[in-house]
Structure 1
Amino acid sequence: MNLPRSLPVTHLPAQAIAQYRDDGWCLLGRIIDDATIAAIRSEEQRFRGFEMEYDQDVPGAKTLFRSQVHPFSAIVREVVTNGPHLSMIQDLLGPDLVFTYTQFVTKFPDGDSRRSDFPWHQDHGYGGVPTADQTTVWVALDDVDERNGCVYVMPGSHRQGLLPHTKVREDSWHMEVPVAGDGIPAILKAGETVAFTGLTLHRSLLNRTDRPRRGFFMQYATPQTRRLDGTPLWQQRYAQVVRGQLPPLVKPPRAG
C-alpha cells in the first residue's frame, strides 16, 4: 500500500530543531492526510481484539496499548518506513535512521476513576537507554487537548539524563518519576504530531470526554543508540533501517 502524496516530504525549520535540542520536544505538524488517518483508525479498531506479544492488559484499565503492530499492518508499516516525517527525523537525529517501535494508545472515557492517566515518565525508563538519541513521534488519530488526555511534556527534562522510575502500583506495569510542575500540553488536530526525545519527561491525564482518544506513536534511533548493557537498538526484534545505513561492524582486536 502506497501513501498518498498530498503531503510533500519536508524538513524542519531551524527554530523547531533548536527547540528540540534545547527543550527536548517540538511539533512536526501534519504528517498524514485524511485517507491515511481513516485507514490507521480502522487498524486501531482491528487490533483492539488482538493479544499482542509485548502487551500486558491491566484489569479495569481505561487505556489500551497495542505494541509492535507494523509487522501485521501494511498501512502502518508504510507510514513507519516511508512517511514524510522521516526527513524531519533526519533533521533531528542525522542521516541514518533505525525504526525501533510502534504502538497504538487508546484512552477510553474515564470520568474520575484515574484508570486512563499515564504518569510522568521517560520512554527510556522502560527501554533502559541512557542517551537522548531516540525520538518518539506521537501522532494524534483524533483531535487531542486537555479534556481527552493529550500528551504533556516537561521542557528541558531530557538534560537530566536517565532518571530512576518506580512502579505506580502492584497491579500495573506503569512506572513514574516524581515531577514538580504541570508541563506543556501538546494540543493537536488529527494527523498532527509531537516529537520528543527518549529522555524527555511526559505524561497524559484522564479522558474526560464521552469518546475514545486514539493515538499512535513510532520510535526512531541512530545506529549508535545502545541500551545500558551495550546492546544496539538496531539488533532488537522488528527493528529496521529506514534511512541511510548501518556503519560497518568493527571486530575487537584479538589478544596476543
Structure 2
Amino acid sequence: MAGRRTPTSVIVTIVLALLVAAGSVTAAALMRPSGRSGAQPSRSSTPAPAPDQGIDPSACKRGPCKVLGTVMVAGTAVDLVADRDGTSGWLRIGGGGTGSGRVIETKITKLGVKLTHSSLQCQAGTISACLIRGSYDGGVAGEVIVGRSDSWSPLETQFQSSAGYLALSNVSGDAAPEIVAIQYDCQGADACSDGLVFGQVFQANGTELGCTRHHYAKLENMPGYPNIQLRGVAMVNC
C-alpha cells in the first residue's frame, strides 16, 4: 500500500458464475412448494434455526437445511439457508415456493468458511447488496450478492479482512452500500495481530474505493465500533 503498508491479501479472487436468466440458477431443482413466509420485519434479524421446507433436502449434504438468518431488503425477504454444519449454503431471495424466488449457492463455503447466524448482512439502495461472511484464515472472508427486485447476481470477487471485520456500510454517501474490510498494517510488527489497523473500502461493484488515511491502534478505536462508520473519514489510495 503505497510504500507504507505491507499489502494484505484482501481479495481472494475466484471465478463466480454470474446470475443471468432463469437457466443460470437451478432454482427449480433446489426449491419446492412451501407455506413459509420467510419475512422478518428487520434488516438484521437472526431467527432460531428451524427445518426449512423451501430447499430440496437432497441439496443439504450434512443434515437438514435450516434458515440461519432472514433480512428484508426493500420489501423482499432474503434468507440464508445452510446445512446442519454450515458447510454449504444458499441465499434465497423472494420466498420459498417454486417460482416465487431465486436461489444462489454460496461460494465461500468452498474455501472452508462455515456459515453461522451472524453470516448474513444486507442493505437496500439503488443497488442493494447482501454480504455472506464467516471466519477464514485468522480473519473473515465474504462474498457479496447485488441486485434489485428479482434480478440478483454475485460479484466475481471475494473479500477478506485480516483484522476480522467485514461489513456493508454507507461510506461514500450515495444510495448504494459499500464493503468495508478492516486490515492489519503489519509493517514493522513482529506479528500481524500486533500491528495498527486501517479500513479498506470497496464499491458495490467490487471496485476498490480507497483506504483510510489514519491508522488506528486497535479495531475498537475505529469510529462507530462495533458498527464501524467511515463516512466522512479521509481516504487515500491503498
TM-score clears 0.5? no
- The TM-score normalised by the length of structure 2 is 0.29
- The TM-score normalised by the length of structure 1 is 0.28
Point out which structure has higher relative CO (alpha carbons under 8 A, 6+ apart).
1
If each structure's helix is expressed as a fraction of its own residues, which one has the higher value?
1
If each structure's strand is expressed as a fraction of its own residues, which one has the higher value?
2
